[in-house]
Structure 1
Amino acid sequence: MWAALAMVLVQFGIVLLRYIFGFTSIFINESVLYLHASIFMLGSGYTLLMNGHVRVDIFYAPLPPRKKAMIDIFGHIFLMLPSLGILLYYSWPSVRRSWSIFEGAISVGGVPASFLLKSLIPAFCVLLLVQGLSALIRDVIRLSEAK
Structure 2
Amino acid sequence: MADYPRAPRLLFLLRQLDNLTATLGKSVAWLTLLMVLATCIVVILRRGFDIGSIALQESVTYMHAAVFLLGTAYALQYGAHVRVDILYRRFTPRTRAWINSLGALLLLLPVSIFIGFISIEFVSSAWRIREGSTDSGGLSMVYWLKTLIPLMAVNLSLQAVAEILRNTLVLMNMTDAANEAADSEAAQ
Same fold (TM over 0.5): yes
Q: Does 1:25 align with 2:53?
A: yes
Corresponding position of 1:87: 115
Per-residue CA deviation, residues 25-65 of structure 1 (Å, 9 max, x unaligned), is 21111110000011111111122121211101222112110
Which residue of 89, 101, 105 maps to 2:133?
A: 105
Corresponding position of 1:73: 101
- Letter of the aligned partner of 1:140 in structure 2? T
Distance apart, 1:144 and its partner CA: 2.6
Distance apart, 1:106 and its partner CA: 4.0
Q: Does 1:124 align with 2:152?
A: yes
Give the number of equivalent residue pairs. Answer: 146
- Letter of the aligned partner of 1:41 in structure 2? L
Corresponding position of 2:71: 43
Superposed CA RMSD in Å reads: 1.4
Inter-partner Cα distance in structure 2 for 1:141 and 1:133: 12
Structure 2 unaligned blocks of 5 or more: 1-28, 175-188
Inter-partner Cα distance in structure 1 for 2:112 and 2:136: 32
Alignment of 1:7-26 (within 5 A): 7-26=35-54
Corresponding position of 2:124: 96
Tell whether the 8 Å contact from 1:106 to 1:114 is kept in structure 2 after alignment.
no
Structure 1 unaligned blocks of 5 or more: none
Inter-partner Cα distance in structure 1 for 2:134 and 2:81: 30
